[in-house]
Structure 1
C-alpha cells in the first residue's frame, strides 16, 4: 500500500563551516540532534532517462525511518509529491502504474547509487512541535549506467524539509539565517540531478541545454499547441490514477483541445493522418467522461433542490437523487484505471509522440501565421455566426435546443482555434478566446438545463413507480424551463456584443 505526502524542502551547498546555529529563527526554541543516519539509495530510469528529463525520481532506499520505494513528482519550485511504498525486491505495481505514461514499454534500470551519511537535526518550537528537519548530508554518487557509467562524485549539502502543516514562509526565515552565515542555495534541484551532472562525461558537460525555437510558421504555432495538449495528457495521467481533484476533467479538456486543433487546422496538419487519431482521442474522452455528465447534473439538481423551501420538497427526493446518481458509478473507477493500463491507450500515447516528432505538415504549414491561422479562426467564427443566428430564429422547443447545442460545440471549437492562435495573433485572438468561453458557458448552462429536465423526468417516473410523490420533480422541471428561457432571451444580445471575431 502506497502512502502520499507533499514534500517542501530546499537544498544548499555546504562548506567546511557546517551548519550555523538555527535557534531563534522564527519560532525555533530548540535544535535537537537526531544523530547520523546511513542511507543507501538506488535510482531507476529508462535508457534515455525520460524520468530525469521531467524531474521525476524513482528510488529504492534502505536506512532511515522511511526505507522503501519513493516516487517523486515535481509540483512547484521546492515542492514535490512523494509516494512511498514498502521495501521490496521489485518495483511495486502501484508505483509502476504512476509512471506508465512516461515509461510505456521501456525497461527500468539502475542508473545511480547514492550513499549518504545524514547528520539530522529537528527544529522545534517551545511546545516541542516539529517545524522542520535539517540535515547535513555527505553524499557519494556512483553512476551505474548511461553516459558516464562508472563515474563517481562526492559533495556535502544541507537540506531543510518543512514539517507538515507549517507555514512555508518559515523556510524563508531559515534561508535568511543560512545566507547570513555564507551558505548558498544548491544549483541542483535534487541529489539525482547533481549526480547525473557531475558524473557525465566531459563532452556531455560541454553540451548546452537545448531551448525550443520561437514559432515562426503557421505549422510551428499549431504544433506548439498540439504538443502542449500531448504533454498535458501524459502529465495528468498519474493525477487521474491518484484521483486528484479535477484531473479527469482536465485530461478530458486536453483531448478536446487537440481534437479541435486537428479539425480546425486541417490545412496545416494532414487530416488523413490526424482523423484516426481524433477518433482515438474521442474514445479516450468518452471513457474519461463516463461519470462526469451525471456528476454535473447531480450537482445542478442538488443545488436547485437546496434553493426550495422545505414545504415544497415532497417525499424522499434527496434519497432518490442519491440512488439515481450512484446507479452507474459502481466499478467505473476500476474501469478507468483499466483504460489507462490498456494497450489501446498506450498506443495512442505512442502515436501522439510520433505525430509531434514527425508531423504530417501540409503546404499551408509553411505560411505566415498571421495569414494562415487568422483565416482558420475567421472561418470557424463565420460558421458559428450562422449556427447562432439559425438557432435564434427557431421557435422554442426541441429543434432550438439541438441548434443551440450545436452552436455551443462550435463555440468551443472556435475558442480553442483562437486559443491556439493567440501566440501568433496576440490581443485580438485572446479577446475572441475570452468571448467564446463566455458564449460556451452561456450555451452550456442552456444544455445543462435540457439534460436536467430529462433527468427530472426520469426521476419522476422512478418515484411514481415506487409510489412516491412527483410534485417536487415537476416544480424543479418548471424552474429549469424558466432558466433555459432566460438564457435563450440573453443569447441575441450577447451575440450582438460579441463581434470580436471580425477583428482577428
Structure 2
C-alpha cells in the first residue's frame, strides 16, 4: 500500500517515540494484516502479524531508527499526509537558517550528506542498483568536507575521529563496488568465463557490507554524526573559531585552493615517484577531496566540480586497469589464456600515466589560483 492512497480501513502507524521516520519522509504502518513502508525508492509491502514490526522492516530502517523501538504512534484512515496533519506539531524541526558564514555554507552540505548516507543505507539493504556506490560517495563527501573545511567546522582535532570512522566504512564497502565494476569490465573480453569467479567475490563482498551496516561501530558513527550536526548548529556564534564566523566567500576558496595545491604537488612528483601505482592512487584520492571541496563550497567558489571529470576519468581508468590486472593474474594462474588481456591492461595503465600531467594542466581552476585570499 502506498501512503498516498486513502482507504476505508484504518491503518496503525509505527515510528520511534521521536518520529524519526516521519522526520525523514518515511511512513510505516499495518492495515488489514499487511505491513507497508513508503521509501524514496518506492513502497515495500509484506504480510505479517500485528504484534510488532517485522524484523525485515525494522532492519531496513536502522539508519533512521538507530535501534530505537518502533511503537504505534497513530491509528487513522488515510495515508502519509493525514498522519503528518495529525502529528505535525511533533514533527517540526528547528529551522537552520543559512547565514552566509563559512560554517553555515559547509554545515548545510554536511547535513545533506548525512541524509544521503541514511537514504543510501536503506537502498543498500533493499538491494537497489548502485546503492553501495551511493553510500560510499556520501561517506567520501563527508570526509572531504571535514578534511578541507575543518577550520570552519570546529577544527581538525574534533573531526579526526570522524575521518577515521568514515574511512573504515568506505573500506568495508569498497570490495562490493570494486567487484561490481570489475565484473562489468571483464565482460568485454571474457563474456561468461569470469562469472563464477566474480560471483563468489560478490557474495563475499556483499556479506562484508551487511556485517558493516549491522555493526555497533557503524551505529556509533551515525549517532556521532547526528550529535556533531546539532553541536555545530547550536553552538553560540561567539564561541566559533574566527574562520567559521567569517563570510564563506572569504574563507572557503582559500581552503579549497590548499586542496588543489596538494593535487598539483602530487602530479608534479609523479614522474619521480618510486611506486607509480601508489602515487596515482594518492592523486586520485586527493582529486576526489578537491571535487568534494568544490561541491561543498559551490555557493561561493566559481569553479564547476564537473571541470574535474575528464581528469578523474583518467585516474579511474588507471585504477581500474591496475585492479583488473590483479584479478587477471589470479585467473591466468587458474585457467590460462589471459596473456593478451594482461598486456592490454598494462598498456592502458601506461597511457593514463603519460596523459595525467597534461590533463591536469588543461583544467580550468583559474579562480582558485587567482583568489585574493581571506585577508581581503
Aligned position for 2:43: 81
Please state which structure has a larger fraction of its residues in strand. Answer: 1
Name stretches of at least 5 consecutive residues in structure 2 with no aligned partner. 372-376
2:85 to 191, 194, 198: 194
Give the secondary-structure state (helix, strand or coil) at the position aligned to 2:98.
coil
Alpha-carbon distance between aligned partners in 2 of 1:417 and 1:101, rounded to the nearest angstrom: 25
TM-score computed with the length of structure 2 as normaliser? 0.87
- Once the two structures are TM-superposed, the CA of residue 494 in structure 1 deviates from its matched residue by 1.7
Given that 1:71 and 1:82 are in contact with CA atoms closer than 8 Å, whether structure 2 keeps it comes out as yes
Aligned position for 1:496: 361
- Once the two structures are TM-superposed, the CA of residue 331 in structure 1 deviates from its matched residue by 4.9
Aligned position for 2:257: 378
Give the secondary-structure state (helix, strand or coil) at the position aligned to 1:55.
coil
| CA-to-aligned-CA distance 1:28-87 (integer Å, 9 cap, x gap) | xxxxxxxxx85122112222222222232111222xxxx322221245xxxx42333323
2:144 to 250, 260, 284: 260
- Once the two structures are TM-superposed, the CA of residue 210 in structure 1 deviates from its matched residue by 5.4
Check 1:82–1:455 CA distance in 2 against 1; reply closer, same or farther (3 A cut): closer
The number of aligned residues is 362
Given that 2:179 and 2:201 are in contact with CA atoms closer than 8 Å, whether structure 1 keeps it comes out as no
Aligned position for 1:349: 222
Alpha-carbon distance between aligned partners in 1 of 2:8 and 2:117, rounded to the nearest angstrom: 39
Aligned position for 1:462: 334
Cα RMSD (Å): 2.7
Given that 2:98 and 2:105 are in contact with CA atoms closer than 8 Å, whether structure 1 keeps it comes out as no
- The answer as to 2:175 corresponding to 1:299 is no
| CA-to-aligned-CA distance 1:460-487 (integer Å, 9 cap, x gap) | 1222xxxxxx3x4110111112222332
Which of structures 1 and 2 has the bigger CA Rg? 1
1:240 to 107, 118, 124: 124
Aligned position for 2:245: 366
Given that 2:4 and 2:80 are in contact with CA atoms closer than 8 Å, whether structure 1 keeps it comes out as no
Given that 1:412 and 1:437 are in contact with CA atoms closer than 8 Å, whether structure 2 keeps it comes out as no
- Range that drifts further, 474-483 or 37-46: 37-46
Detail structure 1 runs of 4+ shifted over 4 Å in the superposition.
7-11, 207-211
- The answer as to 2:174 corresponding to 1:289 is yes
Alpha-carbon distance between aligned partners in 2 of 1:194 and 1:209, rounded to the nearest angstrom: 15
- The answer as to 2:285 corresponding to 1:424 is no
Once the two structures are superposed, the pairs formed by residues 25-36 of structure 1 within 5 Å of their partners are: none
- The answer as to 2:62 corresponding to 1:96 is no
Alpha-carbon distance between aligned partners in 1 of 2:208 and 2:324, rounded to the nearest angstrom: 26
Alpha-carbon distance between aligned partners in 1 of 2:5 and 2:359, rounded to the nearest angstrom: 50
Name stretches of at least 5 consecutive residues in structure 1 with no aligned partner. 12-36, 116-138, 140-187, 307-317, 464-469
Give the secondary-structure state (helix, strand or coil) at the position aligned to 1:350.
helix
Give the secondary-structure state (helix, strand or coil) at the position aligned to 2:128.
coil
User: Which structure is richer in relative contact order (CA contacts within 8 A, separation 6 or more)?
Assistant: 2
TM-score computed with the length of structure 1 as normaliser? 0.66
Check 1:484–1:74 CA distance in 2 against 1; reply closer, same or farther (3 A cut): closer
Check 1:211–1:355 CA distance in 2 against 1; reply closer, same or farther (3 A cut): closer
2:27 to 57, 60, 65: 57
